[in-house]
Amino acid sequence: MTAGLLRIRDLTIASRERELVHGVSLEVGRGEAVGIVGESGSGKSLTLRSVLGLLPNGVRRTGGAVELRGRAGLVLQDPLAALDPLMSVGAQLEEVCATAGGLGRAAARARALELLHLVRIPDPEARRRDLPGQLSGGQRQRVVLAIALATDPELLLCDEPTTALDVTVQAQVLELLAGLRAQLGLAMLFVSHDLAVVGRVCSRIVVMSQGAVVETGPTERVLTAPEHPYTQMLLDSVLTVPEAAS
Amino acid sequence: MLRWLGRTALSVIPVAIGVVIAVFALLRIVPGDPARMILGEQATPESVEALREQLGLNLPVWQQFVDFVVTLVTTGSTGDSLQYGVPTRELVLDRAPITLGLVGLAVLFSILIAIPLAMIAAVQRDRLPDHVIRVIPMVGLGMPTFWIGLILILIFAVGLKWLPVGGIGTGPGEPLRSLLLPALTVSLGFVPGLVRSLRAELVDQLGADYVTTLTAARVPRHRVLGRHVLRNAAIPALMLFSVNIATLLGGTVVIEKVFAINGVGSLLFSSISNRDFPVVQGVALFCAIAVVIVSVLIDGIVQLIDPRARAQRGGAVRRRREASGTQEERA
Amino acid sequence: MRFLRRARRTPTLLVGVGMLTIVVLAAILAPVLATHDPAQQDLAAILQPPGAEHWLGTDQLGRDVYSRMLFAARVDLSIAGIAVIAPFVVGVTLGLIAGSVGGWIDWIVMRLTDTVVAFPFTVIAISIAFAVGAGATGIIVAVAYIGWVVFARVVRGSALRMRESGWLAAARGLGYSRARILFRHLLPNVMPQAIVVLMTELVVIMVAVVTFGYLGLGVPPPTPDWGTMIAEGQSFATTKWWIPVIPGLAVVSTGISLSLIGDGLSDVWKVR
């Protein structure tokens, strides 16, 4: 087996009052797209955040190991909250470029524009002066993606990146993600409560419930022949386009 | 900008009206003859009647109010001082600079003391420095400001003899040197509450998603704190000040008695001893107006420095410009 | 009860209640615990340092400081305790109505609040006390006029959140009358936060009572009061520093106990 990019073993995370994640293990290989599905409170977001050690206040990793061999970028759910509301998107992106690559101002600006092009922001020269509040939701999320890509990562950590977006915009962002992955050879760990989205984007699925992994396997197998009743329940609740009434 | 002015006027005008009514009603909040209340129980019926005439208390209430407002608008006074016979405005404005200087100095000290403490506590959340710093609001909120003043006098003026005990001196470094200890006292009374609120605000900011995003993108901690968190916390912090300015002013007024400072506060106390009610009204009105003006000023500053507000103003211009250009694809 | 169980596991609450109990008991049992009559002067033994006869020394009229402290506790605590009732009731009621009904009632309450808040508490309290007369009554009336604002604001916020969450509309949809919703449903929900604020307000009011005493607007002598004790002791502070300092410590301790209780309660009830 090739050494994976990310290996999580027996991860436990707890707050002051109770354990939130019990003994979660998963692996992500180079270029692989793995999805974590579950309802709110299943511990999927915490698992994702622990890869970079970015757990929220009062929550700590209490056991297990996280082995990350490479750099990871993070895309969070709410792009409005994920960006500093008082600074232009250009300035924020340039700041990341400068510190990540040790670049000077001009070089950082050039790289920032390059990244904005990469995430398909129209008219980047004009948009870079905008505040996050002035962009649309989809544009904001692209900026967040650009920031994640600025560190030249091998793994993209996505926490419900499309949940806060309109449905039509969701599709565009997912398409962008797929394109970038192919172009840059990125691996991805994609967290969502939406089984349909995860199914589209990932080749392997990890199903979590109440802080533990209940099932894992290749996407096709999990979606067509789930072994755990919880997975079946998730499947059943996915709305499909209804047959036209005959 | 015009919209902001309109909005501000809409909220300030009712308050101004309310303040004027409240000041007018001060003497009449308890049933009984206001003139008798001023002169006390031993007053002779003749002197009571004379005062009633002088204060216009024999007129119907609505007319008294109209006269009050007219006097206020034309002379800026709440009447004539019963003791000195001059319009209250003169007495109040004469003392105002000292008090305002004291408040300004106190604000400066509060900022210098509270911000570092709140930052350390927030960044070191739930660790030892945080627990130690969180004791300060707990202990400090129950400390009467005048008592703090006494202790400071004992330590610095009497014990160490670094600073004067009271009054405003005329030597070198004055009046600053005399105002140092009083201002420090007022700010120490204010700091506990300020530290608590600032810390809470900073903790909120530190937990925000943008901090996570930037940290994940390897931006160094000190940059995240200095360039992002502090700026985001600054505006709520300014609003905090705006809300608490009245408390600060109140503390200053009491402290003037402890340190024998000749400001608006000591005017208030001497007027109370002398039963000079119009001056009491004048001081109360001055304080309220000062608070309202400062609130409006702070709100205005926020409008100027908040890039989101600026964007709204600039945005109107840009939107008009773009409307005539090509329609962009919004993703 | 679940509350008692959780309360027992919250150290802040326990310590706070413990401290407050000591203070309150000292106040209630003052006649029993005092060693001397607080008003009794002994001009032969003025300004004595703490010793066997007078545990905390004597003041400038030879009165026993320790006994005066106990009786002062009675005065200051009872005035503060009484003074906070009216603001609490009025503030919570106004806040409930303003937050849940909204509209012009809310607007009026907000403007009223803004007007009161524009005046520094001390300044307006002194002015009102001037009009009403010094002493306990003055303080209580002054606090009644301005102390309700904090409660109104906090309760209004809670009620507003409940209204916006659609909860209110649902209850109305079920056919409950406005009054019933207000008292049997909204009130219990806003109570925890209101009581936590009550603890903070008690500290503020107690400090105000002591400040009034210091300024000479409090209860008349010879009734002891922490504020007047500090004021009287001020002149001797350079040599007999304990006379003005110790009453202040009493105020601070009471303040700490109340703050601890407030913090502890907000932990137990999970109030923000």
* A139-163 pLDDT, tens digit each: 999 999 999 999 989 999 999 988 8
Q: Does C145 touch chain B (CB under 8 A)?
A: yes
Q: What is the pTM of this model?
A: 0.84
Distance in Å, alpha carbon of B327 to nearest chain C alpha carbon: 37
Rounded-to-integer distance, Cα C88 and Cα C84, Å: 6
Q: Closest Cα of chain B to A50: distance in Å?
A: 11
Average pLDDT, chain B: 84
pLDDT value for A243: 61
Asked whether the beta carbons of C233 and C240 are under 8 A apart, the reply is yes
| C-alpha atoms less than 13 angstroms from C-alpha of C180 in its C-beta half-sphere | 6
Average pLDDT of span C107-127 = 89
Q: Do C111 and B18 touch (CB under 8 A)?
A: yes
Asked if the Cβ–Cβ distance from C238 to B144 is below 8 Å, we say no
- In this predicted structure, the answer to whether residue B313 has a pLDDT above a threshold of 70 is no
Show the tokens assigned to B178.
Answer: 């005399």
Higher pLDDT, C175 or A157: A157
Rounded CA-CA distance C85/C126 in Å is: 20
Rg of the Cα trace of chain A?
Answer: 19
Decide if A151 and B209 are in contact by the 8 Å CB cutoff.
no
Q: Is the pLDDT of residue B180 over 80?
A: yes
How many residues in total does chain C contain?
272
Task: Say which amino acid occupies A58.
Answer: G
More confident residue, A175 or B166: A175
B29 and C145 in contact by Cβ < 8 A? yes
Q: Is the pLDDT of residue B160 over 90?
A: no
Instruction: Note the maximum CA span of chain A.
Output: 65
Q: In which region does residue C271 sit, left (phi positive, over 0), alpha (psi from -120 to 50) or beta (all else)? A: beta
Q: Which residue of C has its CA nearest to B30?
A: C132
Q: How confident is the model at residue A165 (pLDDT cuts 50, 70, 90)?
A: confident
Give me chain C's average pLDDT, please: 86
CB contact under 8 A, A172 and B331: yes
Cβ neighbours of residue A70 under 8 Å, at least 6 residues apart? Answer: A5, A6, A153, A154, A155
Interface check for C114 against chain B (CB to CB < 8 A): the answer is: yes
Beta strands at A19-28 and A33-37: parallel, antiparallel or unpaired: unpaired
Does the pLDDT at position B319 exceed 70? no
Mutation for A interface: B213, B230, B329, most A CBs within 10 A? B213
Q: pLDDT band for A4, please (50, 70, 90 cuts).
A: confident
User: Percent of chain B, pLDDT > 90?
Assistant: 31
Query: CA-nearest residue of chain B to A51?
Result: B216
Exposure b/e, B215-244, CB count within 10 A at least 16 = b: bbbebeeeebbebbbebbbbbbbbebbbeb
Is the per-residue pLDDT at A98 higher than 60?
yes
**What's the pLDDT tens digit per position in B107-155?**
999 999 999 999 999 988 888 999 899 999 989 988 999 999 988 888 8
| Listed residue (B122, B107, B127) closest to B230, CA to CA | B122
Q: Name the nearest CA neighbour of B269 among B175, B146, B176.
A: B146
CA distance B212 to chain A (A): 7
What's the average model confidence in pLDDT over C196-222?
Answer: 89
pLDDT at residue number B328: 42
Question: Tokens standing for B186?
Answer: 């007022």
Mean pLDDT to the nearest integer, C104-114: 90
Mean pLDDT for C57-83 is: 88
- In angstroms, the separation between the Cα of residue C121 and the nearest Cα of chain B is 6
Residue A126 in this model has a pLDDT that exceeds 60:
yes
Residues 6+ apart with CB under 8 A from B131: none
Report residue A239's pLDDT band, with 50, 70 and 90 as the boundaries.
low
Give the pLDDT confidence score for residue B172 in this predicted structure: 67
Tell me: domain A1-70+154-246, CATH 3.40.109.10, correct? no
Please state the rounded mean pLDDT for residues A39-44. Answer: 85
Taking CA atoms, what residue in B is nearest to A130? B311
To the nearest whole angstrom, how far is the Cα of B223 from the nearest Cα of chain A?
Answer: 10
Which residues sit opposite B231 in a β-bridge?
A: none
Residue B325 — pLDDT band, cuts 50, 70, 90?
A: very low
Q: How confident is the model at residue B327 (pLDDT cuts 50, 70, 90)?
A: very low
Best to test chain B binding among A17, A48, A84, A92 (most B CBs inside 10 Å)? A84
Separate counts of helices (H) and strands (E) for chain C: 14, 0
**Quick one: pLDDT band at residue B331, thresholds 50, 70, 90?**
very low
Span A17-37, pLDDT tens digits: 888 888 899 989 888 999 999
Give the mutation candidate from B205, B212, B304 for the A interface (greatest A CB count, under 10 A).
Answer: B212
At residue A152's C-alpha, the angle toward residues A149 and A154, to 5°, is: 95
Q: Which of B15, B142, B254 sits opposite C251 (nearest CB)?
A: B142
The listed CATH number (2.40.50.140, 1.10.3720.10, 3.90.1150.10, 2.40.10.10) that belongs to domain C16-28+61-269:
1.10.3720.10
Q: Is residue B322 pLDDT above 60, yes or no?
A: no
Residue A223 has pLDDT above 80, yes or no: yes
Residue A244: its pLDDT value, please?
61
Length of chain B: 331
pLDDT of amino acid A206: 92
Chain C residues inside the 8 Å CB shell of B88: none
